[in-house]
Structure 1
């Protein structure tokens, strides 16, 4: 094992920390669309998302009928998908969320033993259409969008709340654009640390920023910024979300080039007042950190993709695990890229050994 890989092996073999992620929960029913059927059992699926878009445009003045073929029914959401990476790497993340009201939904059964699940109700339902190069997600958001901090608080006793938020090293809150009471959750989380020792870092995935108004977006950013000096804040975005961020905060949209995007990320990070800003794409990941400066790591686009829904959350899970120790920023990105690459080609998270092997395959490590 060469020295580049040895540092990751040593880090993972000593990985430790308490992770708390909330507060969503989805069941994903995933399908592919038939392009051409040859027989009862043989068909070709629409491979590219653009193909499907062109089909809709071509038939825009009439009806469009497609055949769906089920692929799987599985878990979904920021908490569970990001938490999976931490759990398989040997941690036991605390995951308050929507996993089933009376009983844990079968989609989350595998997580009961490896995560600390706290179910607040039934999950939201997402219909996911997967293509070789992307996905279309259609969600009945009522369960998530109607969940409030007051609901969360009523679910736990004061002693249980204290136990849940105590000794947390990394705190995460996901899907701002899907959670109507996101600011309420954030303030509720921060309230716990008026008396408890605060986590070393807090992590955010806002999801589709375009869904909400600029006014609410800026309000949330300013609210989070006001706590950045107490808890360093990390904001993670995909390639579309980083362009929307720049547009909304009034800075020039960056070119999605790994060698040049760092300068734009630094300007954006300083403007919103967060400690870290991270962007992940199918070809690279880049970040700007107040302490570590800027870095990027190349990620080969995976060709043998068997599951794309959850790829971004898997990146987040890998990056959060990489943030629990003292890895430099470049290595944090490499580890997160490897977690994503393994997930999309195996539909699960990697063990420590599998993650090291995935990093070894990367051209940039």
Structure 2
């Protein structure tokens, strides 16, 4: 990890504290079933060799064409999932106040979300989706059942919250994070209603900001992606807007916007982030492959490597932890470069331990890798 003296100076002079900050996060909710595809069994339970890579899993499936295959998925564990709940959980661990609105179970909260719902005083508006996440050394393949998330729309949210309470919640939030657009079919319509009907009625707040994450929009049409990007741009009239993208999402957005994409090197990532930001006219674009991260604002572009982990305990949710770390660092007053470094360490701690870190644990990992 490349940690500049500027970053070290900042973490020694600026406090990574979120005790006075409040956020609203939504709108999804998934029960994540983390599984390991079995390559060769040697006995009962977890006595087996897992399929190590996505490429090898793909080869096994391809080899079954015209025949058949029986691939065992060994259950590692079950946990709360979805971009929103994982990001919100990470922000809770970092010390921010969080209210959650999303699909956590209806009429009853699903057991995996019970503690989370208590901590966030959650408003649940649908049953959660189900994700079967196959994890490999080189990434993950997530198989999702999202039928219940089709119920999430503006009228359902207003019905659950009440328009007055919803406006009050938004008016008090320093950060409003709306994620997993891909899996919520009616989210674009919700965003239009939000920017047309609610935001003009919010009282001014200097610290208010929005964060959006598309969440792997490959299955959505180019016209759908372009439409939601246009709507997201409209939020900039009401507050600072950040759009977070992993590398593949960055490539997809460049393609939709007619921009030239690049590789994962520093210059290419900074240029991609800058070009997307300029095209959308929003405050910040964050672009984060696994090994590094870049961001662009009107003042320039920055890049850093991260504390890469060869043998992660978990990878599902790493990007959501990165997003939580970046948003939290920016709310604490850190520069874009230091916020990138703290974001990579938030994600880095999580993949090493399968636990969301505190701010002190994030800073400790950064110092260990400086």
3-state SS of the aligned residue for 1:11?
coil
Match of 1:195 among 196, 201, 207: 201
What is the aligned length?
361
* 1:97 and 1:119 in contact (8 A); partners too: yes
CA distance in 2, matches of 1:261, 1:302: 21
Say if 1:361 and 1:188 are closer, same or farther in 2 by CA, change over 3 A. Answer: farther
TM-score (norm 1): 0.93
Alpha carbons of structure 1 residues 259 and 253: separation in structure 2 relative to 1, 3 Å: closer
* Structure 1 partner of 2:293: 285
Question: Structure 2: 5+ residue runs without aligned partners?
Answer: none
Matched, 1:325 2:332: yes
Given that 1:204 and 1:236 are in contact with CA atoms closer than 8 Å, whether structure 2 keeps it comes out as yes
Residue aligning to 2:102? 97
The CA deviation string for residues 33-66 of structure 1, in whole angstroms up to 9 with x for no partner, is 1111112242111111111011112222221211
* Runs of 4+, deviation exceeding 4 Å: 2-6
SS, match of residue 172 in structure 2:
coil
Change (3 A) 1:110 1:7: farther
Identify the residue that residue 25 of structure 1 maps to in structure 2. 29
Q: Distance in 1 between matches of 2:285 and 2:236?
A: 13
Q: Pick from 347, 359, 363 the counterpart of residue 366 of structure 2.
A: 359
Q: How far off its partner does 1:300 sit?
A: 3.4
| Structure number with higher helix proportion | 2
CA distance in 1, matches of 2:86, 2:124: 15
Q: Is the 8 A contact 1:92 1:116 kept in 2?
A: no
1:227 to 235, 252, 255: 235
- Aligned to 1:166, the other structure's residue is in SS state helix
Shift of 1:3: 8.5
Give the 5 Å matches for 1:145-184: 145-184=150-189
Normalised to the residue count of structure 2, the TM-score between the two structures is 0.92
Q: Say whether 1:127 aligns with 2:127.
A: no
Once the two structures are overlaid, the 10-residue window that deviates more, 128-137 or 101-110, is 101-110
Contact 1:202 1:232 (C-alpha < 8 Å) held by counterparts: yes
2:348 is aligned, of 337, 341, 344, to 341
Is structure 2 residue 145 aligned with structure 1 residue 140?
A: yes
Alpha-carbon distance in 2 for matches of 1:208, 1:77: 12
In 1, Cα distance between equivalents of 2:6 and 2:140: 38
Tell me if structure 2 keeps the 8 A contact 1:23–1:96: yes
Secondary structure of 1:114's partner? helix
**DSSP-derived class of the 1:29 partner:** strand
Shift of 1:327: 0.9
Corresponding residue number in structure 2 for 1:39: 43
User: Match of 1:301, SS?
Assistant: coil
Contact 2:18/2:96 (<8 A) preserved: no
**1:163 Cα deviation from its structure 2 partner:** 2.8
SS at structure 2 position matched to 1:228:
helix
Q: 1:305 aligns with which of 312, 317, 332?
A: 312
Q: Tell me by how many angstroms 1:145 deviates.
A: 2.7
SS at match of 1:210: helix
Distance in 1 of aligned mates of 2:164 and 2:260: 48
Tell me how far apart the structure 1 counterparts of residues 8 and 17 of structure 2 sit (CA, whole Å). 12
8 A contact 2:10–2:338 mirrored in 1:
no
Q: Kindly state the Cα deviation for residue 5 of structure 1 after the two structures are TM-superposed.
A: 4.5
**Which stretch of structure 1 is more off in the superposition, 9-18 or 41-50?**
9-18
Contact 1:282 1:300 in 2 (8 A): no
Q: Provide closer, same or farther for how the CA distance between residues 143 and 275 of structure 1 changes in structure 2, counting only shifts above 3 A.
A: same
SS in 2 for 1:343: helix
| 1: CA distance, partners of 2:6 / 2:234 | 41
1:161 Cα deviation after fit: 1.6
Describe the SS at the equivalent of 2:236. coil
The 1-side partners of 2:230 and 2:117 are apart by 36
- The structural deviation recorded for 1:188 is 3.3
Residue 334 of structure 1, CA deviation? 0.6
Q: What displacement does 1:113 show?
A: 4.3
Q: Any conservation in 1 of the 2:254–2:276 contact (CA below 8 Å)?
A: yes
Cα displacement string for residues 144-177 of structure 1 (whole angstroms, at most 9, x for unaligned residues): 1332111111112233223322211111111111
